[in-house]
């Protein structure tokens, strides 16, 4: 028989989360208007309605594709209104039917269905098969009921005593909770055996899930009971100890530590580790050494500011004012720091910004770090690394050793009382190493933003997140920092202060600071401007301002002595006299001048060249002298020169031989002349390749007898073919040239891009000449440059003219920079 042979039209009601079976009596509430209208139409008609489950219970207006194809034709038994204004209905399932079509045009859903004729229920089952299925279903149901929430006993017994497999199936399916999808599958299956097998599979799956839920519940309950039992027993022991009047009770101490550990909010693994450490206190005697080690460890851990973070307050205008207030000059440094702040304002959780402030002593590297912390509103901690040679200073000692303690990183965090402070590593280039380890290797992890999120101190043995810490390092010489460590930092150079900068720093910062420190005021002591300049020029020689500050402090002490020494007992209430210190008074207070200014020579000299050198306190003028005497070709090198400078002197001799014909030098000078190269201030060691061009120039001058211009200074490495190579420390060297009154500075061509980074005063005061070859250096530095080359050309011309029979007049005269005089016409 086809589905179209027995079609029926009736109201339809889509069910949300409910599946009804034939012979099942069910009551439920209806809220949707179309569903209520469908029930009313069925009640007013043949009382039949098609109940079908929705595929998705969230669909409000279901279409034919939103419901299953198989449902149940039911009879409406009763309808009533609830106090909540919903419609409650009682229905009984009659038979299974297949949905053919939907019609939503009426005020309710109307459908066309075809009843599904059930196949003979027991035609495929023998008595033994039916008995086996009944037994299996009964046993499985018993096991299910033993795990599921309690079912009414009468209903339970009724189902178990049922021997009819059809009624047994209905009794189980109607009265246990199954998922709507599972119920729908059972409804759609034809044939008793298949339905029973499907129901058995569903029950076995539910039994497995419930057993797993019970096991999990029992584990949680056992854990809670154990914790409650331990807590109860500990409280009992605590009260007993208190009543017995015991002092230094290990139990009491353990409970105190346990409470602090639980309140600290550690992760589970760390908390269990610390609780185990605290439990050792119960086993040890309170006065034992082991108990002291455990207490020291727990105290060190609990003193850490684990959950404390400082909130950043980035205000660019305020930061600019803070930097300007704390430091004069340092324009490039301030610009880079403000760029750092701007990035942090846009991305607060940015990582990997580790700065190294490099420069000579006393230029304000450490104070710049303090200003950064103030501008960000963060806590500040300083770690001095000068002389550190033990890795344990950074990572800490193992707590098993007597006298063990955490490393300096942990102590800095404790000092700052925050987990995101600004930490300054001072003098990072002064670290060394020995048999105990290399601290610079330990610093590699600290300063690596990819690794320091889980930094482990050997003493604490708990991971520390250092990724939120802003690290700043300072160094005098980055060449002393290991390359892998330097690679992790962005180097910002702080150069030497100019004379004008030192003056302004003294007037705005140093003098007010020292006056306040010595109990003086502007009404007691006045240091004039010319006195400040005299202090800078004649009493200090440094790149920074530390010595200048000490000299100002000395003037304050002298003034304080005069003021207090000149008082009489009756003059205590009279105002103190004002002391004015001018430049002419400095010898009275500070003694004779300690440093004389670097003056240029009074005249151009042969064999004397102004070289430029870099030192840890800034740049200096380094004169180089060369002398030539009759001899046997010996070369003397003096002035505490290092191996690199000695090699440069040998290169200079070889290059001078190759240039001998250009400058009228005896080509056999290396056989019949002795050469002596000297760098004054022999007590000061000197090294480096940047004096190469100066050595060549001095040697050419000495051999040719041509003087070197006194107002020219030079720096650059030289090669055997006369190429001038790049050098370092250009900023410091040019500053020294500016202070000495040099007018022209010769630098390598490769260093030309760095001229724009020099101080504006230096750039405007000096004339820079860049050189790729030694020819440019010699033509610029030698007096009457070019004249000897022209003389050689004239001599060659004379020889050629004499060979042709011409008569030559007096030899031409040569002046500084002049060309040969006119040659007379031949006869």
Give the Å distances, CA to CA, from 709 to 229, 294, 705: 96, 75, 13
Nearest-angstrom CA–CA distance, 788 and 493: 44
Q: Which of the following is catalytic: 185, 547, 551, 733? A: 733
Radius of gyration of the chain (CA): 49
Report residue 163 as tokens: 């021997």
Question: Are 694 and 623 within 8 A, CB to CB?
Answer: no
Tell me the two tokens of residue 188.
């759609």
User: Quick one: which H or E segment has residue 416?
Assistant: helix 408-416
State the Cα torsion 373-378-384-385 to the nearest 10°.
-100
On whether the CB atoms of residues 690 and 613 are closer than 8 A, the answer is yes
Beta-bridge partner residues of 101: 112
Q: Which of 371, 418, 496, 690 is catalytic?
A: 690
d(CA 810, CA 153): 146
The position carrying tokens 């998705």 is 56
CA-based end-to-end distance of the chain: 146
Tell me the torsion sign for CA atoms 718, 724, 725, 726. Answer: positive
| Three-class HEC string of 739-793 | HHCCCEEEEEHHHHHHHHHCCHHHHHHCEEEEECEHHHHHHHHECCCCHHHHHHH
Closest CA to 364 of 214, 476, 487: 476
Distance CA 159, CA 162 (A): 5
How long a stretch of residues is the chain? 827
Under 8 Å between Cβ of 381 and 415: yes
State yes or no: is 241 an active-site residue: no
Task: Please tell me the distance from the alpha carbon of residue 99 to that of residue 3, in angstroms, as a whole number.
Answer: 10
Structural contact between residues 188 and 70, judged by C-beta atoms closer than 8 angstroms: yes
Helix (H) or strand (E) holding 630: strand 618-630
Neighbours of 686 (CB within 10 A): 19
Structure tokens of 727?
Answer: 């050098």
- Clarify whether 690 is annotated catalytic: yes
Which DSSP helix (H) or strand (E) runs through 619? strand 618-630
Cite the active site residues.
690, 733
């Amino acid at each position: 028989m086809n589905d179209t042979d027995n079609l029926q039209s009736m109201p339809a009601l889509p069910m949300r989360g409910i599946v009804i079976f034939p012979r099942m009596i069910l009551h439920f509430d209806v809220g949707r208007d179309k569903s209520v209208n469908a029930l009313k139409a069925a009640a007013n008609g043949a009382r039949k309605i098609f109940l079908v489950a929705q595929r998705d219970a969230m669909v409000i207006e279901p279409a034919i594709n939103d419901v299953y194809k198989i449902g149940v034709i039911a009879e409406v038994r009763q309808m009533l209104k609830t106090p909540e204004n919903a419609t409650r209905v009682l229905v009984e399932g009659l038979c299974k039917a297949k949905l053919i079509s939907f019609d939503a045009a009426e005020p309710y859903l109307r459908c066309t269905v075809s009843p599904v004729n059930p196949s003979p229920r027991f035609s495929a089952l023998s008595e033994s098969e039916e008995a086996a299925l009944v037994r299996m279903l009964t046993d499985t149901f018993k096991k299910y009921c033993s795990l599921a929430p309690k079912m009414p006993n009468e209903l339970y017994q009724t189902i178990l005593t049922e021997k009819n497999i059809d009624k047994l199936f209905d009794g189980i399916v109607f009265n246990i909770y199954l998922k709507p999808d599972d119920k729908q599958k059972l409804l759609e299956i034809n044939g008793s055996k298949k339905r029973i097998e499907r129901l058995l599979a569903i029950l076995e799956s539910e039994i497995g899930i419930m057993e797993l839920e019970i096991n999990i519940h029992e584990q949680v309950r056992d854990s809670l009971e154990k914790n409650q039992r331990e807590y109860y027993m500990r409280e009992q022991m605590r009260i007993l100890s208190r009543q017995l009047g015991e002092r230094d009770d290990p139990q009491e101490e353990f409970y105190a530590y346990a409470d602090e550990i639980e309140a600290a909010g550690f992760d589970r693994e760390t908390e269990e580790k610390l609780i185990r450490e605290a439990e050792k206190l119960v086993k040890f005697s309170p006065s034992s050494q082991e108990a002291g080690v455990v207490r020291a460890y727990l105290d060190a851990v609990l003193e850490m500011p684990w959950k404390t973070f400082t909130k950043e307050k980035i205000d660019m205008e305020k930061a600019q004012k803070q930097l300007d207030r704390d430091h004069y000059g340092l324009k490039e440094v301030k610009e880079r720091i403000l760029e750092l702040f701007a990035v942090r304002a846009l991305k607060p959780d940015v990582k990997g910004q580790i700065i190294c402030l490099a420069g000579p002593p006393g230029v304000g590297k450490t104070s710049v770090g303090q200003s950064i912390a103030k501008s960000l509103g963060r806590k500040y901690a300083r770690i001095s690394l000068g002389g550190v040679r033990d890795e344990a200073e950074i990572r800490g000692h193992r707590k098993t050793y007597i006298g063990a303690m955490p490393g300096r990183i942990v102590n800095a965090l404790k000092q700052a009382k925050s987990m995101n402070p600004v930490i300054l590593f001072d003098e990072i280039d002064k670290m060394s190493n020995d048999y105990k380890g290399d601290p610079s290797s330990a610093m590699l992890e600290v300063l690596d933003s990819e690794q320091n999120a889980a930094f482990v101190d050997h003493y604490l043995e708990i991971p520390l997140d250092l990724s939120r810490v802003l690290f700043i390092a300072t160094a005098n010489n980055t060449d002393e920092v290991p390359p892998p460590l330097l690679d992790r930092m962005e180097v910002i150079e702080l150069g030497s202060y100019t004379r004008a900068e030192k003056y302004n720093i003294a007037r705005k910062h140093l003098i007010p600071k020292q006056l306040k420190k010595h109990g003086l005021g502007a009404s007691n002591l006045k240091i004039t401007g010319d006195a400040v300049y005299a202090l800078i020029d004649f009493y200090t020689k440094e790149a920074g301002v530390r010595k200048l500050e000490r000299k100002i402090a000395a003037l304050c002490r002298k003034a304080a002595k005069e003021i207090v020494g000149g008082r009489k007992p009756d003059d205590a209430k009279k105002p103190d006299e004002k002391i004015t210190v001018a430049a002419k008074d400095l010898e009275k207070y500070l003694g004779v001048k300690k440093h004389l200014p670097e003056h240029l020579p009074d005249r151009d000299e042969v064999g004397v060249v102004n070289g430029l050198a870099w030192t840890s306190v800034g740049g200096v003028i380094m004169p180089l002298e060369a002398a030539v005497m009759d001899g046997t070709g010996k070369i003397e090198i003096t002035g505490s020169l290092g191996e690199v400078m000695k090699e440069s002197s040998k290169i200079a001799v070889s290059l001078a031989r190759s240039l001998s014909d250009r400058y009228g030098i005896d080509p056999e000078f290396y056989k019949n002349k002795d050469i002596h190269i000297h760098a004054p201030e022999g007590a000061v060691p000197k090294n480096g390749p940047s004096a190469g061009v100066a050595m060549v120039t001095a040697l050419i001058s000495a051999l040719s007898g041509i003087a070197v211009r006194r107002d020219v200074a030079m720096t650059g490495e030289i090669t055997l073919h006369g190429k001038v190579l790049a050098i370092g420390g250009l900023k410091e060297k040019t500053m020294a040239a500016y202070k000495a009154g040099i007018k022209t500075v010769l630098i390598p061509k490769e260093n030309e891009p760095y001229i724009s980074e020099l101080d504006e005063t230096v750039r405007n005061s000096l004339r820079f000449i860049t050189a790729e070859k030694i020819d440019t250096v010699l033509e610029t530095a030698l007096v009457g440059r070019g004249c000897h080359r022209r003389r050689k050309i004239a001599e060659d011309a004379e020889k050629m003219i004499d060979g042709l029979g011409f008569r030559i007049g007096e030899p031409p005269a040569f002046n500084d920079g002049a060309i040969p005089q006119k040659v007379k016409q031949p006869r």
